[in-house]
């Protein structure tokens, strides 16, 4: 790891930005330039588009990009999940094929893990992949897939050996979404949006060279993805003002970079961006003349404290990574904390707005952000692993409590009764 400091990073990056940032570039041109510089993923190895920087200096990089008015690297599941997993488990050929399009935003990703009968018990998944020469034929169904309508590739878990125990017969594929055997059906939420989809796989195909980590090693690889997901969701996700769903179908690449930077600077709040709930709600309380309400102030103070706990937990996660440890129990507690913040914001938002909280739309006070956050609030306790799963993990892996009774881990999958499978 290079011997660098905050001052040296500011000096070097600041100089590079003065020479390189041009708001008249397209987003695609800027992201390509940012990727070549290593500043898009500064903690990645220099051999793979990074600069080998300690994770503790990422905040300095983000701050410098914002200070220059430049957009950061692409956000989304490619940067948050696929990239780190491919770095950890991929061959050099796979890293060469997949990492650069993630960093340049050319390819967007989705996560094909959960199924109608395999959510909390993910290892019970029934989507199957059967080898056919140099390819695998995939059949099954996935659900709650974020960004599936515009993703170019998917992180796919499929069962390749039903005779093995359920955790051992799974493989992890880097799966192309643009093919005839893939049908994506958006799921409309009560917010009016369709962030999630169900995905049907019918004789879909994926190359044998797209197996990540080896055949039958999918559970091990998936745990890397799940650890990154819990840490990312619990500590604010990834990216620094980039596009939430990049890729050729995301509609971002040909936009003017300066226009995207301006929209990011206005601080629009997405439904899941509960990290900004304190700022949004406290400003609304002042605007509506309720800033002096002692009960409301106490609830806002609680929200502020929870966000500070989340920020400090994020620092603990970063410190663990700097020390060479992967995401530990901090990631699980961070995920639980995010759910708690979402519930508090859900209750507090309508209290701040009063009767207007029953109305929807951009013409309402606050632009409808609070109402949308209120409707979206149940989601954080479910996606990325339910709150109950996080508590089980903490109980078993941190507190040493016994696991819940269940089938022997050596039992072949095809002898288990899971989902629609009759069992032995």
pLDDT digits (tens, 9 = 90+) for 144-179: 998 999 999 999 999 999 999 999 999 999 999 999
Q: How many domains does the chain have?
A: 3
pLDDT on residue 287 = 92
Query: In this structure, are 278 and 380 located in the same domain?
Result: yes
For residue range 72-113, list pLDDT tens digits in order: 999 889 999 999 999 999 999 999 999 999 999 999 999 999
Residue 25: inside a domain, yes or no? yes
**CATH number of the domain to which 367 belongs:** 1.20.140
Q: At 236, give phi and psi (nearest 5°).
A: 105, 10
User: Is residue 1 within 8 Å of residue 51, measured between CB atoms?
Assistant: no
Closest to 23 in 3D by CA, of 337, 335, 342, 257 = 257
Query: In this structure, are 292 and 249 located in the same domain?
Result: no
Q: At 379, give phi and psi (nearest 5°).
A: -65, -45
**CATH number of the domain to which 135 belongs:** 2.40.110.10
Structure tokens at 346: 């859900």
Q: Per the residue annotation, which of 229, 283, 351, 388 is the catalytic one?
A: 229
Instruction: Supply angle C-alpha 112, 113, 118, rounded to 5.
Output: 135
CA–CA distance, 108 with 255 (Å, rounded to integer): 16
Query: In this structure, are 26 and 60 located in the same domain?
Result: yes
User: Is residue 213 within 8 Å of residue 221, measured between CB atoms?
Assistant: yes
pTM metric for this prediction: 0.84
Query: In this structure, are 206 and 253 located in the same domain?
Result: no
Residue 96: inside a domain, yes or no? no
Tell me what percent of the residues of the chain surpass a pLDDT of 70. Answer: 89
Higher-confidence residue of 29 and 246: namely 29
Residue 290: inside a domain, yes or no? yes
Query: In this structure, are 172 and 250 located in the same domain?
Result: no
pLDDT on residue 233 = 62
Residue 114: inside a domain, yes or no? yes
Average pLDDT over the chain, rounded to an integer: 87
Residues 6+ apart with CB under 8 A from 409: 165, 167
Least confident of 160-169, 314-323, 374-383, 393-402: 314-323
Least confident of 16-25, 164-173, 180-189, 404-413: 404-413
Task: Assess whether pLDDT exceeds 80 at residue 275.
Answer: no
Query: In this structure, are 50 and 121 located in the same domain?
Result: no
User: Is residue 380 within 8 Å of residue 311, measured between CB atoms?
Assistant: no
Residue 409: inside a domain, yes or no? no
For residue range 344-362, list pLDDT tens digits in order: 999 999 999 999 888 888 8
Query: In this structure, are 161 and 198 located in the same domain?
Result: yes
Query: In this structure, are 217 and 254 located in the same domain?
Result: no
Higher-confidence residue of 319 and 308: namely 308
CA–CA distance, 348 with 242 (Å, rounded to integer): 29
CA–CA distance, 345 with 2 (Å, rounded to integer): 42
Which residues are bridge partners to 275 per DSSP?
none
Residues 6+ apart with CB under 8 A from 364: 353, 356, 371
Query: In this structure, are 224 and 294 located in the same domain?
Result: no
Residue 98: inside a domain, yes or no? no
H or E stretch covering 111: strand 109-112
pLDDT on residue 423 = 58
* Domain interval for residue 254: 1-75+243-265
120-151 burial, b at 16+ Cβ within 10 Å, e below that, comes to: eebbbbbbbbeeeeeebbbbbbbbbbbbbbbb
User: Is residue 375 within 8 Å of residue 228, measured between CB atoms?
Assistant: no
First-residue to last-residue Cα distance in the chain: 53
What confidence tier does 383 reach under pLDDT thresholds 50, 70, 90?
confident
Query: In this structure, are 257 and 274 located in the same domain?
Result: no
Task: Assess whether pLDDT exceeds 90 at residue 9.
Answer: yes
Q: How many CB atoms lie within 10 A of CB 399?
A: 8
Query: In this structure, are 136 and 218 located in the same domain?
Result: yes
CA–CA distance, 250 with 259 (Å, rounded to integer): 16
What's the half-sphere exposure (Cβ side, CA atoms, 13 Å) at 380? 32
pLDDT on residue 245 = 65
What's the half-sphere exposure (Cβ side, CA atoms, 13 Å) at 81? 24
> Residue for token digits 């980039």?
242
Is 135 catalytic? The answer is: no
Kind of pairing, strands 182-187 and 128-132? unpaired
Residue 400: inside a domain, yes or no? no
CA–CA distance, 94 with 209 (Å, rounded to integer): 8
Query: In this structure, are 222 and 252 located in the same domain?
Result: no
Task: Assess whether pLDDT exceeds 60 at residue 377.
Answer: yes
Residue 65: inside a domain, yes or no? yes
Which residues are bridge partners to 109 per DSSP?
153
User: Is residue 110 within 8 Å of residue 225, measured between CB atoms?
Assistant: no
């Amino acid at each position: 790891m290079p011997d660098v400091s905050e001052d040296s990073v500011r000096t070097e990056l600041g100089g590079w930005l003065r020479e390189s940032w041009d708001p008249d570039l397209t987003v695609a041109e800027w992201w390509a330039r940012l990727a070549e510089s290593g500043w898009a993923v500064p903690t990645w190895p220099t051999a793979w588009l990074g600069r080998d920087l300690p994770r503790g200096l990422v905040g300095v990089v983000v701050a410098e990009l914002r200070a220059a008015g430049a957009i950061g690297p692409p956000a989304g599941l490619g940067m948050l999940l696929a990239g780190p997993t491919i770095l950890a488990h991929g061959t050099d050929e796979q890293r060469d094929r997949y990492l650069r399009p993630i960093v340049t935003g050319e390819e967007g990703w989705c996560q094909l893990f959960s199924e109608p009968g395999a959510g909390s018990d993910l290892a019970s998944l029934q989507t199957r992949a059967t080898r056919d020469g140099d390819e695998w034929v995939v059949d099954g169904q996935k659900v709650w897939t974020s960004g599936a309508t515009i993703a170019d590739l998917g992180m796919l878990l499929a069962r390749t050996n039903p005779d093995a125990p359920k955790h051992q017969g799974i493989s992890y594929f880097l799966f192309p979404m643009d093919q005839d055997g893939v049908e994506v059906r958006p799921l409309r939420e009560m917010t009016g949006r369709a962030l999630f989809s169900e995905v049907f796989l019918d004789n879909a195909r994926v190359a044998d060279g797209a197996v990540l980590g080896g055949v039958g090693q999918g559970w091990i690889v998936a745990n890397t993805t799940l650890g990154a997901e819990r840490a990312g969701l619990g500590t604010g996700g990834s990216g620094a003002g980039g596009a939430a769903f990049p890729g050729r179908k995301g509609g971002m690449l040909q936009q003017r970079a300066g226009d995207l930077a301006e929209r990011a600077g206005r601080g629009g709040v997405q439904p899941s961006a509960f990290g900004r709930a304190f700022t949004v709600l406290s400003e609304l309380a002042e605007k509506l003349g309720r800033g002096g309400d002692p009960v409301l102030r106490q609830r806002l103070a609680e929200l502020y404290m929870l966000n500070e706990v989340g920020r400090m937990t994020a620092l603990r996660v970063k410190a663990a990574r700097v020390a060479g440890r992967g995401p530990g129990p901090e990631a699980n507690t961070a995920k639980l904390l995010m759910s708690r913040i979402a519930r508090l914001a859900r209750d507090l938002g309508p209290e701040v707005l009063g009767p207007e909280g029953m109305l929807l739309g951009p013409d309402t006070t606050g632009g409808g952000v609070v109402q949308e956050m209120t409707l979206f609030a149940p989601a954080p306790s479910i996606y990325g692993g339910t709150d109950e799963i996080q508590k089980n993990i903490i109980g078993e892996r941190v507190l040493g409590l016994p696991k819940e009774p269940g089938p022997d881990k050596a039992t072949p999958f095809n002898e288990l009764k899971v989902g629609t499978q009759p069992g032995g």
